[in-house]
């Protein structure tokens, strides 16, 4: 089932244990018998604790909305192939873009968002893929990532000075061979 090269896309979610929160994610992955490379994008509110004073100091006075996170992640893993499951062990880098929508239109009629901060975070983790179809074209997955976050930034934006962020991932992979 795991022989040959493949490409697929996945859709799922991630839930952060500490600080609490989560993202909706979608991505693409490809690889073969000995290496899997993936990239994903996600969006969600998490549990950001950004106060109005901090936003106005950074972005100026305006009518700002509720902040959200845009996530981009790229990683690589070494798979351990079993008959109807595969364990991917690896790591990579994740970028968090903390953005706040602006509810006030500018002169050209658009409502631009303000970028509060960008965080680049390395991570390690494991993901278990299990076949939901006989030929392995549809997979379910559950995974865990340990992210090495900047503790001072996490305290500013999430209210908790954590240097390790624990994330649980779950979703579906749709893949084909080439």
Instruction: Judge whether 65 lies within some domain.
Output: yes
**Rounded-to-integer distance, Cα 27 and Cα 42, Å:** 8
**Distance from C-alpha of 112 to C-alpha of 24, rounded to nearest angstrom:** 22
Please check whether residue 82 lies inside any domain of the structure. yes
Quick one: pLDDT at residue 1? 59
pLDDT number for residue 178: 66
Is this prediction's pTM over 0.75?
A: yes
Alpha carbons 142 and 159: distance in angstroms, whole number: 28
Structure confidence at residue 156 (pLDDT): 85
Residue 10, domain extent: 6-177
CATH number at residue 142: 2.40.160.20
1: in domain:
no
Residue 124 maps to a domain: yes
Establish if 26 belongs to a structural domain: yes
How many distinct structural domains can be found in the chain?
1
What pLDDT score was predicted for residue 115? Answer: 85
Q: Which two tokens stand for residue 65?
A: 């909305």
H/E element, 153? helix 151-158
Alpha carbon of residue 133 to chain centroid: 26
User: Mean pLDDT of residues grouped by 10 in the chain (178 residues)?
Assistant: 81 87 91 90 83 80 81 95 89 92 72 83 95 82 95 86 91 86
């Amino acid at each position: 089932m795991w022989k040959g090269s493949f490409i697929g896309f996945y859709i799922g979610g991630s839930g952060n244990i500490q600080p609490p929160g989560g993202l909706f994610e979608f991505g693409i992955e490809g690889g073969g018998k000995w290496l899997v490379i993936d990239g994903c994008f996600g969006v969600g509110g998490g549990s950001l604790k950004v106060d109005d004073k901090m936003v106005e100091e950074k972005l100026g006075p305006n009518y700002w909305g509720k902040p959200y996170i845009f996530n981009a992640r790229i990683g690589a893993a070494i798979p351990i192939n079993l008959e109807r499951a595969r364990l991917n062990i690896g790591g990579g880098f994740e970028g968090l873009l903390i953005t706040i929508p602006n509810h006030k239109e500018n002169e050209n009629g658009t409502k631009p968002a303000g970028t509060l901060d960008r965080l680049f975070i390395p991570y390690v983790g494991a993901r278990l893929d299990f076949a939901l179809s006989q030929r392995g074209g549809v997979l379910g997955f559950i995974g865990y990532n340990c992210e090495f976050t900047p503790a001072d930034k996490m305290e500013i934006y999430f209210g908790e000075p954590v240097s390790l962020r624990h994330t649980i991932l779950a979703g579906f992979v749709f893949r084909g061979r080439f």
